[in-house]
């Protein structure tokens, strides 16, 4: 799947899943209609992420859902993931592209227009922008309340590659993020910490797709 077709994107974090495993959360998200999954799990060892990655690759491949690995290019290669996502302090986008090849999906976290333009110039396929709203599950680079939909709109206007918003996003506040010109929204706790992850995914999918459909109709008029 092309990142421009992503509407909803799950970033894994086992510490928020209660007594459920990450594969159980991912399976529920897949059943709920998720488009992409990122293996993050920064609090675990490389060995654990490698083993978990193989499980998630099997689940996502069967469902036709893209699997992205946060930061670890080596794990992405070994488990045959669809791509990798790097941050501003990780290996540069250009290095990831050179190592993984032209067919891999390479994403980059950005919080400013300058960072976004630089990532695009280095060959990023999509950008993760955030944190949009205040969040406890992902670092906020621009204050405790997040960068807000206005910043992501400015970034989306400045680049030609897909932009995905992340950070504090829920089914209730996803619309302004999608309206800002993003391809879709990424979440951690909205799905992972939900009592019913599948239902939470369905609600997020509905919010993102409805907003995108309305925006498309208005643009065509």
Q: pLDDT tens, position by position, for the chain (221 residues)? A: 899 999 999 999 999 999 999 999 999 999 999 999 999 998 899 999 999 999 999 999 999 999 999 999 999 999 999 999 999 999 999 999 999 999 999 999 999 999 999 999 999 999 999 999 976 555 444 445 689 999 999 999 999 999 999 999 999 999 999 999 999 999 999 999 999 999 999 999 999 999 876 655 454 44
CB atoms within 10 A of CB 220: 6
- Say if residues 173 and 152 touch (Cβ distance below 8 Å): no
Residue 89 annotated as lining a ligand binding site: no
CATH class of the domain whose range is 3-220: alpha beta
The tally of CA atoms less than 13 A away on the side-chain side of residue 167 is: 27
Residue 189 annotated as lining a ligand binding site: yes
65: DSSP letter: -
Residue 172 annotated as lining a ligand binding site: no
- Say if residues 161 and 120 touch (Cβ distance below 8 Å): yes
Decide if 138 is catalytic. yes
What is the model's pLDDT at position 144?
Answer: 54
Tokens read off for 51:
């083993």
Q: Which of 7, 27, 109, 151 is labelled catalytic?
A: 109
Q: Which of 57, 138, 151, 203 is labelled catalytic?
A: 138
What is the model's pLDDT at position 125?
Answer: 98
Residue 128 annotated as lining a ligand binding site: no
Decide if 7 is catalytic. no
Tokens read off for 132:
């949009």
What is the model's pLDDT at position 143?
Answer: 43
Decide if 40 is catalytic. yes
What is the model's pLDDT at position 211?
Answer: 83
Residue 41 annotated as lining a ligand binding site: yes
Q: Which of 40, 49, 57, 151 is labelled catalytic?
A: 40
What is the model's pLDDT at position 114?
Answer: 98
Where are the domains positioned within the chain?
3-220
Distance CA 136, CA 115 (A): 23
Indicate the angle between helix axes 22-32 and 197-220, nearest 10 degrees.
Answer: 40
């Amino acid at each position: 799947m092309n990142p421009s077709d992503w509407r909803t994107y799950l970033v894994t974090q086992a510490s928020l899943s209660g007594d459920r495993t990450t594969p159980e959360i991912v399976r529920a998200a897949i059943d709920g209609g998720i488009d992409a999954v990122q293996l993050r799990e920064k609090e675990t060892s490389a060995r654990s992420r490698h083993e978990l990655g193989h499980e998630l690759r099997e689940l996502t491949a069967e469902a036709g859902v893209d699997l992205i690995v946060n930061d670890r290019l080596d794990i992405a290669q070994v488990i045959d993931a669809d791509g990798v996502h790097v941050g501003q302090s990780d290996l540069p986008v250009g290095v990831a592209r050179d190592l993984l090849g032209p067919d891999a999906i390479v994403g980059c976290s950005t919080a400013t227009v300058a960072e976004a333009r630089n990532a695009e110039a280095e060959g990023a396929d999509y950008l993760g922008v955030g944190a949009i709203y205040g969040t406890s599950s992902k670092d906020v680079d621009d204050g405790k309340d997040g960068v807000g939909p206005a910043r992501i709109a400015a970034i989306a206007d400045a680049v030609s590659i897909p932009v995905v918003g992340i950070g504090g996003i829920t089914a209730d506040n996803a619309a302004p993020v999608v309206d800002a010109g993003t391809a879709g929204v990424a979440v951690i706790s909205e799905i992972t910490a939900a009592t019913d992850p599948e239902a939470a995914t369905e609600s997020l999918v509905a919010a993102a797709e409805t907003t995108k459909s309305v925006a498309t109709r208005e643009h065509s008029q």
